[in-house]
Structure 1
Amino acid sequence: MRQLDRRRSGYVASSVAGGGLLLAGVMAAAGVMGGCERPLHRDTPEALHRSLIESVERELRSLPESAAGTTAQRTTQPAGEVEKALASRRDELERMAGPGAYRDETPPYSPDLTGSPQQEVAVSLQQAIATAVKNNLSVQIARLQPAIREADVAAAEARFDAVFFSNLDHTRLDEPTTVPVLNGIPLGSSVNVREQTVFETGIRKPLTTGGTISLSTTLSRARSKTPNFSLTPDPGYTARIALGLDQPLLRGFGSDVNEAQIRLARNDDRRSIQQLKSELLALIERVESAYWDLAVARRALLIRQRVLEEGIEVRDRMERRQVRDVTPSQFADAVATVERRRAEVIRANRAVRAASDILKQLMNDPGVTVGSELLVSPVDFMVEAPLEYDARQAIVTAVTERPEVSQALLALDDAAIGVSVADNLRLPLLNFTARMEYVGLDDALSGSYQNAFDNSFIDYVVGLAFEQPIGNRAAEAGYRQSRLRQSAAAIAYRQTVQNIVQDVKNALRDVVANYELIQATRSFRLAQTENLRTLLVEEEFKAGLTPEFLNLKFQRQDTLATAELQELEALANFNKAVARLYRAMGVGMSMNGITFGQ
């Protein structure tokens, strides 16, 4: 294993300079949504904008802004009295136990599921993260969502596409009819027999104002076959060329209403991008956590194996002394201790394989599949470098970078769009209709169209249609509902900011506490190593070893193993806490050299 060469200091303190950027921290988060549109609908009241900014500033009031030139806070470890007392024997103690005592050792793995010797593949943390970002199945699903949402946007925009239409009707009438009588003389025929064919075609274009404009032509051919009755021309061709406009003037008028579904679809597209970013941030944290869990499990197996071998040595010595001063119960205790340690080795073997499978599933590497019996061997070891941080700057950075903030702003925009549409639906229905037709009639097809323009037969239709529900209760209820949803979205935004602040502070506290725990657990491990060392020195010079002495040796071996595991856990927890902090701040990708392209 090698020490991971990653900078753990400097980023938090310098990520966002100055509390004066709070407005940018709140509103610039919408910049990652794509496009140049404002994150909030233009009908959103200015009071809501101020409320959003205030929700961030309120959380930061108790955190002082760092003065120019001041340094950030730095994780510290309390001075260890144990280290000072044992400084002269530190190297010897580190060789006996601790992270450096197992460097480059291979754990004693049991055979894999095929019965073959366990094979390993070395993987660095950066390789694990890069492979997971590229291949993880959850991320692959999340990557498809923006493409799906883009298709939704195209479908919404298609509402305003021009439509070509055609209709063809053929009618044949053969029916009795009344006959007028003048002075006892019937006029006309008692039957009506005629054929008519009508063909209509044109283009209809919906407008973003809510109206529809159309241009069409209708050609009809009529021929009478009624006995004793004739028409001229027969057959007769009637050509109509029409231009029409239907436009709502109140309810349903304007692009704000008619393009609402397009804006909502675009917000869904941006939301899917932010969800992908959130998925990547969470994945990077999970991969790093799984990587350190595997590193700890691998070291734990080495520790358990060493303790087992030491226990076997003590048990064999007690077995040889059974004829002298070791009672059967004392020897049975020794055997039980060894078998307990053997069981712990088996569990440790299982834990390593479980941790490896978790990491393999997250990575989804085609060369190291979950189904394979290859075991991932972590190359890197946990970092212990101190971390510089500034709580205020960390929170501002989180509000700027976290995708949840952008998603909350998008939800606010959705609500504002809903208010705009609901407000428009409260208006009365007042629709304007205008239609102009050129009409031509002739006994030939071409002549009918020529007459339509030459003879200036023009029909005009202009109309207004009004409608208003008495009381308008449904529209008013819908508007109140939309305003309540907007208020709920604003509260949800404030809750999002509050959750992010809590997330960052908890992560920072974990970083600080776990860094201190490294020192505390190391002091504990060094003290227990010294306890065992003094016992071993005493063993060298002692003429006779009593069963009580050997039992004490068992106990100190177990206590030292526990101390080693606690130190490993503290190191891993510190590194996992740093990864969690970077996720909480929304910078996990940039800290690992991953560029999020939109």
Structure 2
Amino acid sequence: MSRQTIRWVACLQIGLLLLTGCHPIQPFYARNNPSLANYMDQAMSIEYADVQVESLPEATQSLEPYAHDRMPTEFHDWTLEDCTSIALQNTKMIRAVSGINLQSGSVAGALLSAQPGQLPSVYDPALVANVGNTQPLVVDSQGTRVAPRGSVRANQVGGVEHALSEFDTQFSTVLGYNTTDRPRNVGQGNVFNPQFFRATDSNFQAALSKRMATGTVATARMTTVYSRNNIPASGNNPASPNFGRSVPSDYTAALELQLNQPLMRGRGTLVNRIPVVLARINEDIALHQFEATIRNLLRDVEHAYWDLYMGYRAVEAARTARDSALDLWRVAKERAAISDTTPAAVAQAAGRVAQFQAALNIAINGSPVPGNDPLGLVGRERVLREKMGLAPTDGPFIRPSEEPTLARIAFDWEEVKAEGLVRNTELRTQKWSIKQRELEVMSAKNQILPQLDLVGAYRWLGVGDELIGADRNGIRFPDPGSRAFEELTNGDFQEVSARIEFTPAPLGSRREKINVLASQMQLKKSHEELRTKELMLVHQMETAWVTVASTHTSMMNFFDQLRENQSEIDIYHEQIANDSGDMSQILDFLLRAEEIKARAQLQYFQSIVEYNKAIVNIHYLKGSLFDLNNVTLGEGAWVEKAYWDAEQRSRERAGGHYFDYGYTRPAVVSNGPVEQGGVAEGNVSDAGITMPPSNPSPSQPAKEPEEVPAAPVPESNGDSQEVAPEASPETP
């Protein structure tokens, strides 16, 4: 091609480039589909995970929920202890939220929306004990352990076993092979350095390295080096003209013991055992959090149990009022037939029947209308089943068989306050966190010191024409046939090395000082958090303490009101029986009195339930709820191999000699185990009481204290154990 043609082709290419510009071009396909259907159908589709997990029968075999047209006919008469026991037996995943919250209710939505792995469970303490860093132990090229650098924080360590693994012995090995084949710029006849040098070299290293609690790193290292080249060998013959090497190849075996001892940073058991103590505290905090969630579950079960009791009483009060209104409607209808009662009185009685019937339906099924009970009896039973881990509906209906206490429990405020400040779970957890912050400050201060290490090594060597043999042949190096391991075990060649390594902190030590300052500020903040939590606990305990007294007073006031309402109703019934007075007015007063009585009866039972729940809250806050319910926390059974290992370790410790060093580093971090299974005052399962006199009415003198049954219901006409409502009255 001529130069002119090449010039024109180049100009044409430049012109095309200028006209089209630079922009990306999609590849062209013969069968192109611009709809991106494959991408939309595959990459953007929502799919099911291929996971096979057997569901709980409580979920898959749950029956149709109860409603107004389908009410239960079978019942489980369970005590509070029965419900608590079932709830604890069904608790692998704890159906309660963490933290202190005196309000309880359904937590199904909160648990269902929680992120995977965030639900509290009985596995949490074991998970914390077995969590660890995925980074392996680090060794250098010589097989020596490299100690971790930087200050230690509690969130950087896992369980105790993970922290103790830092002191495990690390084995490492290196095998290398190398050949050399190159010309060299030397003259001819050079015995020590031939012009064309060829060599084969190999090395093998095996090392065991262990870090001690004092910071010392001990390393045992075995090294074997093989060398062979084309330098002429004399065979250790003085008459040979080849004096560059004694034998064509040789093995060098070395056994070395090395100690790296830090003298400033990282020295001593105090700073090196801090990660282990922090890990142990992590496990303690996990146990406290587990205790708190179990405590919350017990509180929620008790609250749900008494709420269900209240649901039955609400149904009873609504049915009693409905039945009384129905009887009055019948009386008014009969009176209207003989013209003693106006039609307005009959209509008023029928309206009250409809009103009480609606209240009965709400008491059974609940109502989302503001001002009404949103759960009702059925909903309250469902909440209790949720806490117990049962199916929402499995046939029999739960019915509390235990009555709430009416006894006036007078807690001593000073004892409640002192016990709460010591035994409250949240305060104990905070104190463990403070202990962690104290250890973190110690670790951070140690990092200001320079890195000053003393390194010493003692080495045995042996060189031979061969590596090893079955028998010792007595040939010494450098004679042909000598053996490296035989020379090594003779111990004739020994070496000692020592050095000091000094690496100060960066000038100014700003990073180290910032870490110390941050740790000290965290410690100060933890102290103030503890003080604030103690103050808030006292506030909540005072609120609960006052609630116990106020609800008991309200309970007795409502009882007096209920008694007086019943007396008023009896008077109106007597007037109707004697046919005295204006019958329409008497019926009006009687209907109003029945409505007031139903409201007072409901408030009376509400005050009883709130009183028992307030007692539970007192124990909940001061840390004695487990004692109240006779519940203790303990470790489950281990596999048989664990017991075998424990027995072996126990025998090893029993066979050793105990050395009393007089102190331990770090110092003691625990004041002993938390006592469980004590006796708590204010047992809500007390049967009968001696009730003090209430405020007497002006028409009645004050009565002496008398023994009354738990949860009295004056003049109750309905069966408190029946939940199915009767049919509504006929329309007049």
Alignment of 1:579-598 (within 5 A): 579-597=616-634
AA aligned opposite 1:167: V
- The answer to whether the 8 A contact 1:173-1:192 is kept is yes
1:45 maps to none
2:125 maps to 146
2:688 maps to none
- The answer to whether the 8 A contact 2:72-2:396 is kept is no
Any idea what SS the aligned residue of 2:418 has?
A: helix
Once the two structures are TM-superposed, the CA of residue 170 in structure 1 deviates from its matched residue by 1.6
Once the two structures are TM-superposed, the CA of residue 320 in structure 1 deviates from its matched residue by 5.4
Alignment match of 1:370 (pick from 392, 396, 399): 392
Alignment match of 2:284 (pick from 270, 275, 278): 270
2: CA distance between counterparts of 1:338 and 1:443?
Answer: 115
Once the two structures are TM-superposed, the CA of residue 357 in structure 1 deviates from its matched residue by 1.4
1:591–1:257 Cα change, 3 Å: same
1:210 maps to 215
Once the two structures are TM-superposed, the CA of residue 386 in structure 1 deviates from its matched residue by 2.0
Any idea what SS the aligned residue of 2:455 has?
A: strand
1:25 maps to none
Any idea what SS the aligned residue of 2:123 has?
A: helix
- The answer to whether the 8 A contact 2:345-2:587 is kept is no
2:700 maps to none
2:360 maps to 345
2:202 maps to 197
Once the two structures are TM-superposed, the CA of residue 325 in structure 1 deviates from its matched residue by 7.4
1:545–1:175 Cα change, 3 Å: farther
1:389–1:187 Cα change, 3 Å: closer
2:489 aligned with 1:475: no
- The answer to whether the 8 A contact 1:242-1:436 is kept is yes
2:409 maps to 387
2: CA distance between counterparts of 1:193 and 1:114?
Answer: 100
2:179 maps to 172
Any idea what SS the aligned residue of 2:550 has?
A: helix
Once the two structures are TM-superposed, the CA of residue 330 in structure 1 deviates from its matched residue by 5.6
Once the two structures are TM-superposed, the CA of residue 544 in structure 1 deviates from its matched residue by 7.6
Once the two structures are TM-superposed, the CA of residue 305 in structure 1 deviates from its matched residue by 1.4
Once the two structures are TM-superposed, the CA of residue 328 in structure 1 deviates from its matched residue by 6.5
1: CA distance between counterparts of 2:421 and 2:89?
Answer: 27
- The answer to whether the 8 A contact 1:539-1:545 is kept is no
2:261 aligned with 1:236: no
2:461 maps to 439
1: CA distance between counterparts of 2:584 and 2:258?
Answer: 108
Alignment match of 1:121 (pick from 65, 76, 99): 76
Alignment match of 2:311 (pick from 282, 293, 297): 297
2: CA distance between counterparts of 1:265 and 1:113?
Answer: 56
- The answer to whether the 8 A contact 2:619-2:625 is kept is yes
1:453–1:546 Cα change, 3 Å: same
1:256 maps to 270
- The answer to whether the 8 A contact 2:385-2:391 is kept is yes
If each structure's helix is expressed as a fraction of its own residues, which one has the higher value?
Answer: 1
2:612 maps to 575
Kindly provide the CA deviation profile for residues 429-480 of structure 1, in whole angstroms up to 9, marking residues without a partner as x: 2122222222211011122122124363233331122222111101011101
1: CA distance between counterparts of 2:311 and 2:126?
Answer: 40
2: CA distance between counterparts of 1:525 and 1:122?
Answer: 28
Once the two structures are TM-superposed, the CA of residue 537 in structure 1 deviates from its matched residue by 1.0
- The answer to whether the 8 A contact 2:169-2:211 is kept is yes
1:349–1:481 Cα change, 3 Å: same
2:480 maps to none
1: CA distance between counterparts of 2:569 and 2:576?
Answer: 10
1: CA distance between counterparts of 2:66 and 2:609?
Answer: 27
AA aligned opposite 1:258: N
AA aligned opposite 1:190: Q
Alignment of 1:399-438 (within 5 A): 399-438=421-460
2: CA distance between counterparts of 1:145 and 1:204?
Answer: 34
Once the two structures are TM-superposed, the CA of residue 531 in structure 1 deviates from its matched residue by 1.5
**Sequence identity, in percent?**
20
Once the two structures are TM-superposed, the CA of residue 136 in structure 1 deviates from its matched residue by 3.0
2: CA distance between counterparts of 1:240 and 1:113?
Answer: 90
2:168 aligned with 1:161: yes
1: CA distance between counterparts of 2:335 and 2:187?
Answer: 139
1:520 maps to 557
- The answer to whether the 8 A contact 2:191-2:232 is kept is no
2:130 aligned with 1:130: no
Any idea what SS the aligned residue of 1:412 has?
A: helix
Once the two structures are TM-superposed, the CA of residue 297 in structure 1 deviates from its matched residue by 0.5
**Superposition CA RMSD, Å:** 2.6
Once the two structures are TM-superposed, the CA of residue 373 in structure 1 deviates from its matched residue by 3.9
Any idea what SS the aligned residue of 1:198 has?
A: strand
1:360 maps to 385
2: CA distance between counterparts of 1:411 and 1:456?
Answer: 58
Any idea what SS the aligned residue of 1:288 has?
A: helix
AA aligned opposite 1:359: L
- The answer to whether the 8 A contact 1:238-1:448 is kept is yes
1: CA distance between counterparts of 2:582 and 2:123?
Answer: 70
2:493 maps to 457
Any idea what SS the aligned residue of 1:389 has?
A: coil
AA aligned opposite 1:274: H
Once the two structures are TM-superposed, the CA of residue 203 in structure 1 deviates from its matched residue by 1.1
1:14 maps to none
Moved more, 285-294 or 448-457: 448-457
2: CA distance between counterparts of 1:360 and 1:192?
Answer: 87
- The answer to whether the 8 A contact 1:162-1:203 is kept is yes
Any idea what SS the aligned residue of 1:530 has?
A: helix
Kindly provide the CA deviation profile for residues 516-546 of structure 1, in whole angstroms up to 9, marking residues without a partner as x: 1111111111111112111111111116864
Any idea what SS the aligned residue of 1:388 has?
A: coil
Once the two structures are TM-superposed, the CA of residue 279 in structure 1 deviates from its matched residue by 2.2
1:327–1:178 Cα change, 3 Å: farther
Moved more, 535-544 or 138-147: 138-147
AA aligned opposite 2:215: G
What count of residue pairs does the alignment treat as equivalent?
484
Once the two structures are TM-superposed, the CA of residue 380 in structure 1 deviates from its matched residue by 0.7
1:499–1:164 Cα change, 3 Å: same
1: CA distance between counterparts of 2:191 and 2:160?
Answer: 67
1:537 maps to 574
1:180–1:319 Cα change, 3 Å: farther
TM-score by structure 1 length?
0.75
Any idea what SS the aligned residue of 2:391 has?
A: coil
Moved more, 202-211 or 310-319: 310-319
2: CA distance between counterparts of 1:545 and 1:135?
Answer: 62
2: CA distance between counterparts of 1:137 and 1:356?
Answer: 21
2:507 aligned with 1:507: no
AA aligned opposite 2:492: S
- The answer to whether the 8 A contact 1:136-1:362 is kept is no
Once the two structures are TM-superposed, the CA of residue 234 in structure 1 deviates from its matched residue by 2.6
AA aligned opposite 1:571: I
1:100 maps to none
Once the two structures are TM-superposed, the CA of residue 316 in structure 1 deviates from its matched residue by 4.1
2: CA distance between counterparts of 1:581 and 1:197?
Answer: 76
AA aligned opposite 1:418: E
- Tell me, which stretches of 5 or more residues in structure 1 are unaligned? 1-109
Once the two structures are TM-superposed, the CA of residue 503 in structure 1 deviates from its matched residue by 2.6
Any idea what SS the aligned residue of 2:563 has?
A: helix
